[in-house]
Amino acid sequence: MSDKREVRVLFSEAEIAQRVEAMADELSKAGFRNLLVVAVLKGSFMFAADLLRAMHRRGMKPQVEFVHLSSYLEGTVSQGHVTILKDIESDVADRDVLLVDDILESGRTLAFAKDLLSARGARKVMLGVMLEKPLKRVVQIEADYVGFKCPDEFVVGYGMDVAHNYRELPFIGVVS
């Protein structure tokens, strides 16, 4: 069943594209060694794809993996417990890892993923997020690369959803 509510644009498609290119510039200067990009599913799929293409245009050649983590289950508020629904297949030992996610909010999911990859021997684990809600943080973690600071509103689009709706939107918006 489709959700028919109005969506107000928060960050336009053009603003997102410009910021992704700027983030790729920052990443290309970071001096990563044997880089593995790990995209956190499902919400980051559009951001990860755009960022990877922008990184490629700058001569970067990272390997790519996907991890599917959940702390939301069917709700819109983090439940506080992170579950691995699909793990990565690559060995991360002595590699630089860039975790890519749609939003850093409570921090639980990314802290869990960062700790897991570090415990598996990653040389360093950096965080790249499209959105950051600093006022929502419940664990001590900061993103290394941030697309936009986000107001304390529930956002959809550009891969993010509510009840499996709105992921396809090319912009980030707020459901009214």
| Euclidean distance between CA atoms 5 and 136, whole angstroms | 25
- Per-residue pLDDT, 13: 98
| Ranges of each domain in the chain | 13-72+80-153
- Per-residue pLDDT, 3: 63
Query: Which pairing describes strands 83-86 and 63-70: parallel, antiparallel, or unpaired?
Result: antiparallel
Crossing angle (nearest 10°) for helices 13-28 and 45-57: 50
Element containing residue 54 per DSSP (H, E)? helix 45-57
| Euclidean distance between CA atoms 20 and 149, whole angstroms | 14
> Residue 94 gets which letter from DSSP?
T
| Euclidean distance between CA atoms 70 and 44, whole angstroms | 13
- Per-residue pLDDT, 72: 56
- Per-residue pLDDT, 2: 62
* pLDDT tens digit at each of 176 positions of the chain: 566 789 999 999 999 999 999 999 999 999 999 999 999 999 999 999 999 999 999 999 999 999 999 875 555 555 568 889 999 999 999 999 999 999 999 999 999 999 999 999 999 999 999 999 988 899 999 999 999 999 999 999 999 999 999 999 999 999 98
Element containing residue 166 per DSSP (H, E)? none
Please check whether the domain covering 13-72+80-153 is classified as CATH 3.40.640.10: no
